[in-house]
Amino acid sequence: MSQIPVIAYKTAPSAVTDWPPAATAENMAGQSEWVLVCEHASCHMPAEYDRLGLAAGAERDHIGWDIGAAALTRAMARRLDSAAILANYSRLLIDLNRPLAAESSIPTRSEETDIPGNASLDEAERARRVELMFTPFHRTVADLLDRRRAEGRESRLLTVHSFTPVYRGQARPWHLGILAGASRGLAATFLNEVAAEAPALSLALDEPYRIAEDDDYAIPVHGDARGLDALLIEVRNDQLRSAAAVEEWAGRLCAALGRI
């Protein structure tokens, strides 16, 4: 039986450029009610992690981030004049949209790919990733929502994701999925408004995933628990492969949001 590689990690961030802040906050004074959050915006891993033992470039596939989601978030934020908070680390290090108790929080396998560098983590390394990546990201989101509430401003939460056209050999026909927990009625309305913008597209509610408190974080914690309107959008990532395509989706989605 082959041994699982064990990677030794340093105890503190080694360089500012290699260790950016956990979150990038943009347009925080934006006037829109919508607050945009992109938990899987980046595929960055500090060099000391040696790509978690993956082949060069593997982290830039879907397992490492949501392809096109950061560009879509920024394009939508510009159109809406919304605040936007984007993650700066790969979800392979720690998934910001998973509760810490979830098995997929620090994945040892993603889709069909084993993640060697996550296979033998001690509690100190797990705690380090929580401290450096998970907690400050979600504190940034919570602080923004708290501040807006203290200022008497309404907030509505939209988290932005993308998904693969094929998952474990199964083709996914949808161009867009809209997910929600407590805001299911609003999600259905949003879906109808997008359909009015683009009737030829395949759209679905609760596809290709469903919101669950034991498997999702941002919508249950930052949205539903606060009593906010809270939606998650999933755009198939082959629809986000060019700047023009991203702008087209941003325009379509923002027009629909403006009517709900």
Reduced to 3 states, what is the DSSP secondary structure of residue 135? Answer: helix
DSSP 144-185: HHHHHHHTT---EEEEEEEE-SEETTEE---SEEEE-STTHH
Give the Cα separation of 158 and 155 in Å (integer): 10
pLDDT band at 186 (very low <50, low <70, confident <90, very high): very high
- What is the Cα–Cα distance from 47 to 64, expressed in whole angstroms? 15
Q: Could you read off the pLDDT of 44-87 as tens digits, one per residue?
A: 999 999 999 999 998 889 999 999 999 999 999 999 999 999 99
- pLDDT value of position 10: 38
The three-state secondary structure class of 22 is coil
> Which of the given ranges, 12-16, 17-21, 58-62, 96-100, has the highest pLDDT on average?
96-100
- Domain assignment present for residue 13? The answer is no
Residue 2 falls inside a structural domain: no
- Residues forming beta bridges with residue 35, ordered by sequence position: 83, 157
Whether 225 is covered by a domain: the verdict is: yes
Amino acid 8: pLDDT:
34
Residue 160 pLDDT grade (very low, low, confident, very high; cuts 50, 70, 90): very high
Question: Does residue 146 contact residue 210 with C-beta atoms inside 8 Å?
Answer: no
| CATH number, residue 210 | 3.40.630.40
* Domain count along the chain: 1
- Asked if pLDDT for residue 9 goes beyond 70, the answer is no
Answer whether the bond into residue 199 is a cis peptide, omega within 30°: no
The answer to whether the CB of 118 falls within 8 A of the CB of 106 is yes
Closest CA to 131 of 194, 89, 185, 170: 89
Q: What is the pLDDT of residues 23-42, one digit of tens each?
A: 999 999 999 999 999 999 99
Looking at every residue in the chain, the average pLDDT score rounds to 92
- Pure H helices in the chain: 69-80, 123-129, 135-150, 184-197, 243-257
Q: Is residue 116 part of a domain?
A: yes
Peptide bond connecting 208 to the previous residue in cis, omega within 30 degrees of 0: yes
In a domain, residue 18? The reply is no
Look at residue 4 and tell me if it is in a domain. no
Among 66, 65, 82, CA closest to 26: 82
Question: In the structure, what pLDDT confidence band is assigned to residue 177 with cuts at 50, 70 and 90?
Answer: very high
pLDDT given at position 5: 30
Over 90: is that where the pLDDT of 148 sits? yes
Q: In this structure, is residue 9 part of a structural domain?
A: no
Is residue 7 domain-resident? no
* Least confident segment among 5-14, 16-25, 108-117: 5-14
Look at 7-21, 52-66, 177-191, 204-218 and tell me which has the smallest mean pLDDT: 7-21
3-state secondary structure of 47: helix
Tell me which residue range forms the domain holding 85: 23-257
* Residue 12 pLDDT: 42
pLDDT of residue 179: 98
* pLDDT for 1 beyond 80: no
Q: Are 122 and 243 in contact (CB under 8 A)?
A: no
Give the pLDDT band of residue 135 (cuts 50, 70, 90).
very high
**With pLDDT > 90 as the criterion, what percentage of the chain qualifies?**
88
Decide: residue 94, CB within 10 A, 0-12 exposed, 13-18 middle, 19+ buried. Answer: buried
Q: What is the pLDDT of residue 3?
A: 30
